[in-house]
Amino acid sequence: MKKIFFLVFIMLLSSCAVKQKAADGKDGKPGNDSKAEMVQAAQANVESALPVRPISVSDIKRSMEYLASDELQGRATGSEGIEKAAVFIESYFKANNIKQYFDSYRDDFEFKNSRSATPDAVIKGFNIIGLIEGNDPKLKNEFIILGGHYDHIGLGKEVNGDKIANGANDDASGTIAAMEFGKYFAKSKTNKRSILITLYSAEEMGLKGSGHLAERLSKEGINAYTMINFEMIGVPRAEDKSMAYMSGYERSNFAETLNKYGGEEVVGFFPKAKEFNLFMRSDNFPFFKELNIPAHAISTFDFTNFDYYHHVDDEADKMDYEHMVSFMNKMIPALEGMMNAPTKEVVLNDE
């Protein structure tokens, strides 16, 4: 135990020294590394000396309190706030050894938002994409895609002087889940198949980010196995035996396979998901459409357990962090089983 503490201490000192040099730049001039990058890198270097551990409340709360902070002004696509969110996520990827899939972490695109007051204005968006390569010589050429949208609506209807719709549940919660799974597998290296961590902007403007990425991956011929979109997982379901539900439940054997490896009913059927056609209304749908793979959204928002959808009170302090951690840690063995199965067990059902 003393050796571990000594190693952690040395790693921390080394990391701080390296990062201070990067921050100072040449001849003592300011460098390019931000304070957030320095802190995340130092923390990651310390954690790399320790065994892989379950996801903790402190892990997710730190990210939530930044992504859902007033500083980011509701993370509207095209805003300064979403740029800050993107930089934070990129720094997180770098600090936790999540690699680039493209030439950079960003997947850029442009679009016009017909729903806006200026429908002819061109809006620039960017998805953030990270890669954890699989450890099997053959299976690493197959990809499991994990994702969530990191944008939100920006400013909302003012309540008690507050106009910032922080989007903690929608969808900083899903974004953080994907980030944490990326961090876990980048460290554990227990995935035979490769993993893409895909975080989208412009979901709130009509699935523009996920649509662009799915089309790009399709054109490039990616060998995708399945896709999981995490959407609003910040609070527990009111009443159900499963922790979460899955959109498009009947379209594949995804839930059955996931629950087999999870050892319990982690995801279940939710009638309202079918009634409201949620399968086609979240970022999973473009991947189903473009890649013809099992692609589903997983959520714990059941229309009765959270009153602040697209509301300024969708704040970090409204999240149930114990629930989030429990859900994520139950998902890990389920994901691991799917990533390491010798064949593609999850298949689309005949319609």
pLDDT tens digit sequence for 200-241: 999 999 999 999 999 999 999 999 999 999 999 999 998 778
Is pLDDT at 5 greater than 50 in this prediction? Answer: no
What are the C-alpha distances in Å from 90 to residues 23, 100, 171, 198? 17, 10, 17, 12
- Say which residue, 14 or 163, is predicted with more confidence: 163
The pLDDT assigned to 209 comes to 99
The pLDDT assigned to 14 comes to 45
Mean pLDDT across 283-302? 98
> How would you classify the pairing of strands 99-100 and 122-132?
antiparallel
CB atoms within 10 A of CB 145: 27
Lowest mean pLDDT among 18-22, 171-175, 277-281, 283-287: 18-22
Show me where the domains of the chain are located.
Answer: 1-51, 58-340
Residue 303 gets the label, from left (phi > 0), alpha (psi -120 to 50) or beta, of: left
The pLDDT assigned to 4 comes to 46
User: Burial level of 348, CB count in 10 A (0-12/13-18/19+)?
Assistant: middle
Q: How confident is the model at residue 181 (pLDDT cuts 50, 70, 90)?
A: very high
Q: Of 150, 160, 148, which Cα lies nearest the Cα of 74?
A: 150
| Interatomic CA distance for residues 297 and 150, integer angstroms | 15
Fold of 58-340: Aminopeptidase (3.40.630)
Is pLDDT at 98 greater than 50 in this prediction? Answer: yes
Lowest mean pLDDT among 116-130, 185-199, 215-229: 116-130
- Mean predicted lDDT score pLDDT of the chain: 90
Q: How confident is the model at residue 118 (pLDDT cuts 50, 70, 90)?
A: confident
Mean pLDDT across 150-175? 98
Q: How confident is the model at residue 116 (pLDDT cuts 50, 70, 90)?
A: confident
Lowest mean pLDDT among 52-61, 210-219, 248-257, 283-292: 52-61
Cα dihedral 170, 158, 85, 289 in deg (nearest 10): 40
The pLDDT assigned to 240 comes to 77
Half-sphere exposure of residue 183: CA atoms within 13 angstroms, side-chain side: 31
Mean pLDDT across 265-282? 96
The pLDDT assigned to 115 comes to 75
Mean pLDDT across 294-321? 98
Is pLDDT at 13 greater than 80 in this prediction? Answer: no
- The residue with tokens 């030439």 is 103
Q: Roughly what angle, to the nearest 10 degrees, separates helices 80-95 and 35-47?
A: 30
Is pLDDT at 19 greater than 50 in this prediction? Answer: no
| Interatomic CA distance for residues 277 and 322, integer angstroms | 29
The residues, ordered by sequence, that sit 6+ positions from 278 with a Cβ below 8 Å of its Cβ are: 247, 248, 272, 297, 299
Residue 226 backbone phi and psi in degrees, to 5: -155, 165
The residues, ordered by sequence, that sit 6+ positions from 138 with a Cβ below 8 Å of its Cβ are: none
Q: How confident is the model at residue 114 (pLDDT cuts 50, 70, 90)?
A: confident
The pLDDT assigned to 34 comes to 56
Residue 258, token pair as written in the block: 């996931």
The pLDDT assigned to 292 comes to 98
Is pLDDT at 342 greater than 80 in this prediction? Answer: yes
Q: How confident is the model at residue 24 (pLDDT cuts 50, 70, 90)?
A: very low
Q: Answer whether 199's CB lies under 8 Å from 100's CB.
A: no
| Interatomic CA distance for residues 5 and 45, integer angstroms | 13
Q: Of 98, 97, 173, which Cα lies nearest the Cα of 128?
A: 98
Q: Of 171, 190, 142, which Cα lies nearest the Cα of 234?
A: 171
| Interatomic CA distance for residues 243 and 323, integer angstroms | 9
